[in-house]
Structure 1
Amino acid sequence: MDSFSDNTGHSDSASPRQHAGYAGYSGFNRNRGPRRNAVRAVAAGALVLAVAGGGAYAAGLGPFARDTGPDPAARNQARAFLADWAAGRLPSAAARTTSPGAAQRVLDSFTAGLEITEPALKAKAATEAEDGTVTVPFTARMPVTGLGTWTYESKLPLRRQSGGTWKVDWALSVVHPRLSGTDKFRLEREETKPPEVVDRQGTALSGDELPSLAPLMTRLGPSGAETGARGAIHLVDRATGDIERTEAVFGARTVRDKGPVRTTLHAGWQSAAEQALATHAEGRNAALVALRIDDGEILAVANSPADGFNRALSGTYAPGSTWKIVTSSALLLKHAVKPDDVVDCPQYVMVGKRFQNVELSRHPGATFRKDFTESCNTAFISLRDRLYDGELGDVARKYFGVGQEWHVGAPTYDGSVPAPKDETEKAASMIGQGRVQANPLLMASVIATAVSGTFHQPSLTGGNENGTTTTPLPRDVVTELRAMLRATVTGGTAKVLSDLPGEIGAKTGTAEVSDAQDNNGWLVAHRGNVAVACVVEEGGTGGGSAGPIVHSLLAAASDDPE
């Protein structure tokens, strides 16, 4: 299959794609302005004084030291442009350039036509030329759906505008140094027959009958068929289509033995998961994972849409209040709070910004157990001083394996919990917001670890390397977590599961995305030897959107599949 970087292409995003039309370079504004030159002259004089006065001033430590490097506003604009591009906020990224219309068309065409998902764009040190141009080099890591990551270097030229602001001086070469009016990129895939795949009981699995498995089958780490899909990105002549050079090659032709790929999946659970999403996702992007608690073996991986990006294993989402399982673990581990302690739950708190509860609910005089079952954001945020900066990330890594490298048997994203930069970010991380990132695979593993006490690296195929190192949770902490999870079903926000048989424990989550989008809905649950996690993009509340999906799955599937 061919797809071109300047034509409409398949995308995993729900946003519409536009046809591309490229513009040339904008005219450069070479006027620098006297104020900047005066600052540079004063700074030069200060440096002479510093050298004459002693080593401390020469090192830039004296009171007269000035920043003579590129204007920080230019660097900030470059980083903001890259952040918007990476996050898919293409209109916002384009607005930071001198030619917004052309920039948006090209950025959209480039990512869609080459089937790039979730670019990683890292800025390097800025430099300033004599004419006032600021240049910010960057490294681009572009994941091409189903193939691999294309990595290259490019740079952003920035010019000060007449109003004093900085903008990216738009040109095709901003996207890639070889993209031009005469040359473009083309993605070519070599169609390969998917390997034969069977479930844990030897039952053949079909991508036609179980559509979520179709994209996954070529990404498995098999002992059988060819090692995944193959393809390439070529630079081609716009007029003739002739290949001028090959920029990236993906996949290998290595063939091992001819046996089927045996997975940990369970045909019954997989079918029930697919049906649950088809019935209750209501056309929204959603994903679900079910795994065994005692060994981490994955029973079902389902996505909606089924033929798109594998959100279940590789998505990057704020986990919202489902993350309170980890936050509670951190607090209980150091005896910073007990379930029966009173931790007031007001409607909102101010920590650099306003944090509030869903629908502005409040529970005066609530216990910590009540705060958990009602998912009280303000109560959890009020306990942030009882954890040191970075403690959430340390607990997540040490006990839950979050952020360590997992070898599941297919590509995965294994979570991130960066240390907070300030009090506002620390408050956000207490409730699974800010820069905390997870997906259904990771959150299914989190609840499995919480109720068993032991992290097991999830697996989709057998014989995977395991380089994770974790510590078991103390039994008293596990007992308290299980009790709170159970209370959330019997009398809290996960009542949607209360009519099902078995001793189910669960936690709901509502994760903010942006002012322009509805919240994502989450629900994680456990019953018997199975843990489940589900996210519904723009689902609103977890109980209202993810709840019916998990309910459908647990109603249809058995507790402890062998």
Structure 2
Amino acid sequence: MGKRRRVADERRKTRPAVVVGGMIAVVVGGAGVGAYALYGGGAVADERTQTAAADGTAKAVKTGPLSAEEVTTAAGAFLTAWQRGEVDEAAAATDDATAARKLLAGYRKDAHIKDATFTPGTPKGAEVPFSVKATVAYDKLSEPLAYDSALTVVRRAGDGEPVVAWRPSVVHPDLKDGDTLVTGEAGTPPVKALDRDGGELTAESYPSLGTVLDGLREKYGETAGGKAGIELRVIRGKESKSADRTLVELSEGTPGTVRTTLNPTLQAAAEEQVAKKARASVAVLRPSTGEILAVANSSKGFNTALQGSLAPGSTMKVVTASLLIEKGLASANKAHPCPKFFTYGGWKFQNLDKFEIKGGTFKASFGRSCNTAFISQAPELDDDSLTKQTQQVFGLGLNNWSVGVPTFDGSVPVQSHAQMAASLIGQGGVRMNPLNMASVSATVKAGVFRQPYLVPPEVDRRTLATAPRAMSSGTLSQLRELMAHTAVYGTAAEAMAGVGGDIGAKTGSAEVDGQKKPNGWFTAYRGDLAAAGVVQAGGHGGSTAGPIVASLLKLGG
């Protein structure tokens, strides 16, 4: 993790005043730990309602929107108490004193953070951003700590007083419910991750790999031959699926070595592609083996590509099409209905812009992503038909993948009525991520499910998941024909233009409640590469995720 840094003991002779939302916050002294004295003018404008107190007298309860002064004063009271180390007082300034007290007390006792100063920024409504500067000190070691966080002021239930809405991210933005901050000898030694060519993988070179490297350390740190150092770490709660994370290293450990399947050329290209769009994620696989060649996300901190749980929209029609063909409910070149509307389970389903295809084939419906062509077959299916197809043929939704880092393995719950119909087009309760949907394309290309993996199974002799059965040769050939048609003549044609060879693709747009634009999805294969991507709130998959996936397929592998 680089050379050990030396920390100079800095002591201020004077403490500057800072402006807090138009009010003056003066840092006043005391053993290197300041406090905020807030000064402001004007009465707090709020609405009050009257409730009966225990003694029968009227008790005023504050209601209505928070004033700027209330927000600033509540935030200042909390930060002042926290900075002084007055844990009980700081916890009492929140809406959950019990939870706050535990984490705030651990800030000094367990995380060994001292001399903390908190500088508020300009409030944005009820939210107050603030910066933190402190020192992590353990035995004779110390390192500086600096980060940004934020808090939100709300009215407390019962009396309406303004208090800080308690959540762990107030203490540190990486903290979630159940997580803690701990400084000491890291329980897990560090690892040096290598790409398939032997080059070192670092978060500095590949920003998307931060969570991947954390996951590799958690799984292989104890067995890779390294030695732990002294670190400030986020220790995840029992229910968390994320790996522990190092925030500050006070003394270097000796890393062990872990080899991965990542292709440095594809990984660099994937990083570059997702950086062009907000909330974009992509995963690239080798169908013949299941090796993960690249994984990238434009948003840092959560690995949507491997751990996301999103409705995949019409990319799920690849799985549904295989089901319909197997059951004799559809055939690539036979006539198939694609009406403007189809009602099932009390819901009225329609196609984009209410289009219809008269006298068309199932291939035409698949290529144009006709929703009603799939929904119209719901009456002929059992509630668990799609769930079984997804699990038994595509190896998804069984929660048994062993990739080498934490992953979400997809979910297609058994549903009925309208929700079952919606699941046929990748909505309802269906949840996937780019790794899952890249695996779907890889299964079509390879003809059999091969579990994706980032660390070769021979490294730790683990067993990879398998699917109970494969598609028939007839179903497989029709499914490849559908995806090839879509890549050349259908909704994926524009994105796949210039991608030659043996290709297949499917677009998707997944509606999300409260979101103006749908999540754009795209899954495709070319030769011995398969990839899938999503751009959240980006719009239609062909024009958002499509170019990302197509550009990576062009690189080969």
Normalised by the length of structure 1, the TM-score is 0.63
Q: Classify 1:231/1:457 alpha carbon distance in 2 versus 1 (closer, same or farther; 3 Å).
A: same
Residue of structure 2 equivalent to 1:262: 259
The answer to whether the 8 Å contact 2:189/2:254 transfers is no
Among candidates 320, 333, 337, match of residue 327 of structure 1: 320
Match of 1:224 in 2: 224
SS, match of residue 301 in structure 2:
coil
Identity of aligned residues (%): 38
- What does residue 360 of structure 1 align with? 354
Equivalent pair of 2:496/2:550 in contact (CA under 8 Å): yes
Shift of 1:188: 4.2
Q: Which amino acid aligns with 1:275?
A: E
- What letter matches 1:204 in structure 2? E
Q: What is the SS of the residue equivalent to 1:499?
A: coil
Deviation string 1:16-64 (CA, Å, 9 cap, x unpaired) is: xxxx963489xxxxxxxxxxxxxxxxxxxxxxxxxxxxxxxxxxxxxxx
Offset at 1:234?
Answer: 11
- Alpha carbons of structure 1 residues 101 and 278: separation in structure 2 relative to 1, 3 Å: farther
Match of 1:507 in 2: 506
Alignment of 1:191-206 (within 5 A): 194-206=190-202
Judge conservation of contact 2:449–2:467 (CA < 8 Å) in 1: no
In the TM superposition, residue 423 of structure 1 has moved relative to its aligned partner by 1.1
Local SS of the residue matching 2:542 = helix
Give the counterpart of 1:406 among 401, 406, 412.
401
- Which consecutive residues of structure 1, in runs of 5 or more, have no partner in the other structure? 8-19, 26-93, 120-141, 143-149, 151-184, 236-248
- For residues 476 and 483 of structure 2, the distance between their equivalents in structure 1, rounded to whole angstroms, comes to 10
The one-character-per-residue Cα deviations of 1:381-400 (angstroms, maximum 9, x if unpaired) are 00112221111000111111
Task: Output the CA distance in 2 between the equivalents of 1:516 and 1:250.
Answer: 29
Q: Which residue of 2 aligns with 1:136?
A: none
Indicate the residue corresponding to 2:482 in structure 1.
484
Q: In terms of Rg, which structure is larger?
A: 2
Shift of 1:452: 1.8
Single out whichever of 266-275 and 465-474 deviates more from structure 2. Answer: 465-474
Note the C-alpha offset of 1:189.
Answer: 6.4
Write out per-residue CA displacement over residues 331-368 of structure 1, whole angstroms, 9 at most, x where no aligned residue. Answer: 11122221123222222323322322223322222211
**1:232-381 counterparts in 2 under 5 A?**
259-279=256-276, 281=277, 284-305=278-299, 307-351=300-344, 352-381=346-375
Query: Which whole-Å CA distance do the structure 2 matches of 1:414 and 1:384 have between them?
Result: 25
Superposed displacement of residue 438, structure 1: 0.6
How big is each residue's C-alpha offset from its partner over 1:118-166, in whole Å with a ceiling of 9 and x where there is no partner?
A: x9xxxxxxxxxxxxxxxxxxxxxx5xxxxxxx4xxxxxxxxxxxxxxxx
Partner of 1:416 in structure 2?
Answer: 411
Equivalent pair of 1:345/1:376 in contact (CA under 8 Å): yes
What is the CA–CA distance in structure 2 between the aligned matches of 1:195 and 1:433, rounded to whole Å?
A: 39
Higher mean C-alpha deviation, range 485-494 or range 445-454: 445-454
CA distance in 1, matches of 2:292, 2:451: 10
Q: Does 1:439 align with 2:433?
A: yes
Q: Matches of 2:524 and 2:305 in 1, distance apart?
A: 15
Return closer, same or farther for 1:503/1:231 CA change in 2, 3 Å cut-off: same
1:429 aligns with 2:415: no
Contact 1:21 1:102 in 2 (8 A): no
CA distance in 2, matches of 1:414, 1:391: 19
Question: 71, 88, 94: which one pairs with 1:22?
Answer: 94
Secondary structure of 1:205's aligned partner: coil
1:489 counterpart letter in structure 2: A
Residues 533-544 of structure 1 mapped to structure 2, 5 A cutoff: 533-544=532-543
Is residue 326–residue 395 contact of structure 1 (8 Å, CA) maintained in 2? Answer: yes
Partner of 1:106: 165
What's the Cα RMSD here?
Answer: 3.6
Per residue, is there more strand in 1 or in 2?
2
User: Size of the alignment, in residue pairs?
Assistant: 390
Change (3 A) 1:348 1:290: same
Alpha-carbon distance between aligned partners in 2 of 1:103 and 1:481, rounded to the nearest angstrom = 59
CA distance, structure 1, for counterparts of residue 243 and residue 549 of structure 2: 36
Name the CA distance, whole Å, in 1 between partners of 2:172 and 2:370: 43
**Alignment partner, residue 453 of structure 2:** 459
Distance 1:500 1:292 in 2: 17
Match of 1:238 in 2: none
Relative to structure 1, the CA distance from residue 275 to residue 101 in structure 2 (aligned partners, 3 Å threshold; closer, same or farther) is farther
TM normalised by structure 2 equals: 0.63
The yes-or-no answer on 1:532 pairing with 2:525 is no
Contact 1:524 1:533 in 2 (8 A): yes
**Match of 2:492?**
494
Q: Does 1:207 align with 2:238?
A: no
Whole-Å separation in 2 of the counterparts to 1:517 and 1:504: 32
Residues 431-487 of structure 1: CA deviation (Å, up to 9, x unaligned):
010001110111111111122221111110022332444212111111111111000
Matched, 1:520 2:523: no
Q: Tell me how far apart the structure 2 counterparts of residues 551 and 350 of structure 1 sit (CA, whole Å).
A: 35
Aligned-partner Cα distance in 2 for 1:553–1:443: 15
Structure 2: which 5+ runs fail to align? Answer: 1-74, 80-91, 98-153, 247-251
SS at 2:295 equivalent: strand
